């Protein structure tokens, strides 16, 4: 199949590689042409604009930083994807996006006779989880293409359902991260050894995959993670906006949203998302640190793109 892929950064590049490995003809576009070098070495074609990537494609994928970038790339009347796609083709957005933006773009696609799926992801290709919203027949048609990139593929429901599912999973993970940090802050203020507590939590009621990041990423003082603070702050904020839109409570998320934005205001946007712990440390006047235990468990960093 002739496919286009716009946005070939950290996630888009390996996804486009999967499509090439599966034998598809892939035309790529990005703000940085150098991002395409490895893909072009594998046979991908370069397009100077999103429109040019779409003109030769039966379907175009995007993997972009957020809603504003998606709207610009898709709807620009001169060089956007929709200006290049032919009727009966498809646009598939794999960005963690706003449901409201997804619906606006889907309406524009329908007006041009173009099908649309929202298909945000969790994990890393080729074993990602892909959450898809859109017409069931369109989903069935492109499911084999999605299967080149993901292992667990779910049709969640109508347009924007995939985006909603992804935002909820992000909310769960990163609000939980803040709650875990609050618990550690309580312990630190009460004089508990955080190293011992970090051994207790994984075998007690507080156990969670989210907490498993903390010994290496926070207690070490490294504040490293697979994704940046900017990515997590964007996703949590979108999830809180969704909660307001549908009239659902999101008290824990609103606190997390505030803390992530405070960390961004410190200029830490490109640091790993666990740097948010510094905000709680400043508020409480403690440091959340513990010496590493050489024989302790190894923890896997949690990447916001992976969920």
From residue 62, alpha-carbon distances to 52, 75, 175 in Å are 14, 13, 27
Which one of 86, 166, 189, 234 is the catalytic residue? 166
Of 11, 47, 53, which Cα lies nearest the Cα of 228?
11
What length does the chain have? 307
Instruction: Answer yes or no: 141 catalytic.
Output: no
Of 228, 250, 229, which Cα lies nearest the Cα of 167?
250
The Cα 293–Cα 299 span in angstroms is: 12
269's CB contacts (< 8 A; 6+ apart) are 228, 229, 230, 233
The Cα 106–Cα 20 span in angstroms is: 27
Residue 209 DSSP symbol:
T
The Cα 162–Cα 155 span in angstroms is: 8
Report yes or no: 208 and 176 within 8 Å, Cβ to Cβ.
yes
The Cα 226–Cα 209 span in angstroms is: 14
Q: Which residues are catalytic?
A: 166
């Amino acid at each position: 199949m002739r496919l286009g892929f716009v946005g070939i950064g950290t996630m888009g590049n390996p996804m486009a590689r999967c499509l090439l490995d599966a034998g598809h003809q892939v035309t790529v576009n990005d703000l940085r042409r150098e991002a395409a070098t490895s893909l072009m070495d594998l046979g991908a074609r370069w397009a100077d604009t999103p429109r040019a990537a779409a003109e030769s494609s039966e379907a175009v994928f995007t993997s972009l930083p957020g809603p504003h970038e998606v709207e610009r790339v898709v709807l620009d009347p001169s060089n956007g994807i929709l200006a290049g796609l032919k009727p009966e083709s498809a646009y598939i957005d794999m960005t963690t996006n706003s449901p409201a933006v997804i619906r606006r773009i889907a309406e524009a696609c329908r007006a041009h006779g173009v099908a649309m799926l929202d298909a945000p992801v969790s994990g890393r290709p080729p074993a990602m989880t892909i959450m898809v919203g859109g017409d069931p027949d369109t989903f069935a048609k492109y499911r084999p293409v999605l299967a080149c990139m993901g292992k667990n593929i779910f049709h969640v429901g109508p347009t924007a359902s995939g985006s909603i599912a992804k935002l909820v999973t992000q909310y769960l993970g990163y609000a939980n991260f803040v709650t875990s940090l609050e618990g550690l802050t309580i312990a630190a203020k009460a004089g508990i050894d955080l190293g011992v507590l970090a051994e207790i939590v994984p075998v007690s009621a507080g156990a969670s995959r989210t907490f498993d990041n903390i010994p290496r990423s926070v207690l070490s003082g490294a504040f490293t993670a697979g994704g940046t603070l900017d990515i997590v702050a964007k996703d949590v904020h979108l999830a809180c906006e969704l909660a307001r839109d549908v009239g659902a409570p999101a008290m824990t998320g609103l606190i997390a949203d505030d803390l992530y934005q405070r960390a961004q205001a410190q200029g830490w946007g490109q640091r790993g998302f666990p740097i948010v712990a510094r905000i709680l440390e400043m508020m409480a006047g403690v440091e959340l640190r513990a010496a590493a235990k050489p024989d302790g468990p190894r923890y896997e960093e949690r990447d916001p793109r992976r969920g």
